[in-house]
Chains A and B, each alone.
Chain A
Amino acid sequence: MWRLGSPWEDEAKLADAWRTAVPFPHLVFDDFVAAEQLPELLAILEEEPVDRFDGDIFAFEASAPEPRTEGLRSLRDSFARTLAAPLSRITGKSVRRADMRAYAYRVGHYLLPHADHQEGVGRVLAFAYYLPSPEPPQGGELELFTCLLQSGEIVGTESARLIEPRANRLAVFDVSDVSLHQVREVLGGLRASLAGWFYA
């Protein structure tokens, strides 16, 4: 299912892109899954139930933290097997396993600015893979922020990069106290994705 196409061949170039990315390390890969594999991928996800989740920083539909179907479990495990080694080499951060949930952001859904880092949880890298949508989303961009720091405290935040949720695109980004990001409100269509974290 998952393939590492030609962009992954030059790991030194990717490592450089990772290190120099602004506002914090991240990479974006388009056409990540072979076109002929997409129907199978979507068929697996059709079976996975999603529920509505609301909190002070989010409103979306998502699958359970642990997949309920064998299909999504295997998809998650093969994703981690395929990507853990090359991402470890490229980012210089050793990762071994990943979790994965399916997300559906419908009109009005959002994920407000936050950093994924939580002490003791072990998240090292975050990822989002955007699925083809029957109605491509308006809005729903992944927005990365620069954090201005004073004595280790965030004293300013500034938008620095927008990543469109384009179908068959994979975004990988660093997890740290200052990797502030959000999913902008979806204003139309459906933003469907697989997302989660890689762990050491």
Chain B
Amino acid sequence: MSTRDEWAATPMPAVVVPAAIGAELAAEVRARLDSVQYTRYALLDRGSYDEVRTPGEPELLAALAGIAGEVTGRTLVVAEARALRLGPGDYLLVRHDRVYEGRPVELMLELSQVSVPGAELHYRHRGQVFFTIASTPGILALVERGPTVMCNHTYVSKRHRNASVVRLMVLLRDADPRARA
């Protein structure tokens, strides 16, 4: 089954595209994000992580929107993008997420150098996890953000002292909003 068929086959569309970015390009993007500088988010009842709110990377984002369009069959444009970096003890809770209107597509591109055991991205439907993305360098995930879908980034164990999970999170909306009407 193709990724596009897989996307179309489920009532809660969500797919993974393995090896979507090579290690070398991922390292270059990480370096550029480091130079932009992360800011710390620490309202601990919601999340604990570093973030770059305006990651730039227009070429990469355009390419990602293209991949998302191929998989979903929709013409998508980038509405929001940010980079997250989670170290030991970091997390983003469901209550820090928000509900989206218009069924946008959320894309996650993992830029981490190495995988971190237990550091997962969970998508939930009415609170129940229906899609789990394990930390895997280079992986790309697409999830349709219907009105019942929420997400959280699981706690990164302090046992992994050098853990650094870098995720580029991109919200994609239909180029023509009437396409989903």
Contacts and interface: CB of A to CB of B under 8 A. Distances in A.
Interface in B111-159: 118, 122, 152, 154-155, 157-159
Given A57-B93, A185-B89, A113 B158 contact: no
Interface stretch (B39-47, B56-64, B169-177): B39-47
Nearest to B45: A113
Which of B44, B89, B152: most chain A CB closer than 10 A? B44
Interface centre among B42, B43, B93 (most CB of A within 10 A): B43
Contact of B43 (A56, A59, A154, A182): A154
A56 B157 CA distance: 13
Interface residues of A, number: 20
B155 A112 contact: yes
Contacts of A139: 158
A157 B152 contact: no
B122 A56 contact: yes
B49 interface: no
A59 B43 CA distance: 20
A75 to B, nearest CB: 31
Contacts of B94: 56
A173 interface: no
Contacts of B7: none
Interface in A165-188: 180, 182, 185, 187
Contact of B152 (A56, A110, A145): A56
B158 A185 contact: yes
Contacts of B89: 185
Nearest to B118: A108
A114 interface: yes
A154 B159 contact: no
A155 interface: yes
A153 B103 CA distance: 29
A108 B157 CA distance: 7
Nearest to A115: B45
A59 B157 CA distance: 11
B118 A112 contact: no
Contacts of B44: 112-113, 145, 157, 180, 182
Contact of A187 (B43, B91, B154, B158): B158
A136 B10 CA distance: 47
A180 B95 CA distance: 15
Interface-central residue, A107, A112, A155, A187, by most chain B CB under 10 Å: A112
Contacts of A59: 155
Contacts of A110: 155
B45 A56 contact: no
B159 A108 contact: yes
Contacts of B154: 56
Nearest to A114: B45
A84 to B, nearest CB: 29
B89 to A, nearest CB: 7
A154 to B, nearest CB: 6
Interface of B: 42-45, 89, 91, 93-94, 118, 122, 152, 154-155, 157-159
5 contacts: A112-B93, A157-B44, A180-B44, A185-B89, A185-B155
Give 6 closest A-B pairs by Cβ, nearest first. Answer: A56-B152, A113-B44, A157-B44, A56-B94, A56-B93, A113-B45
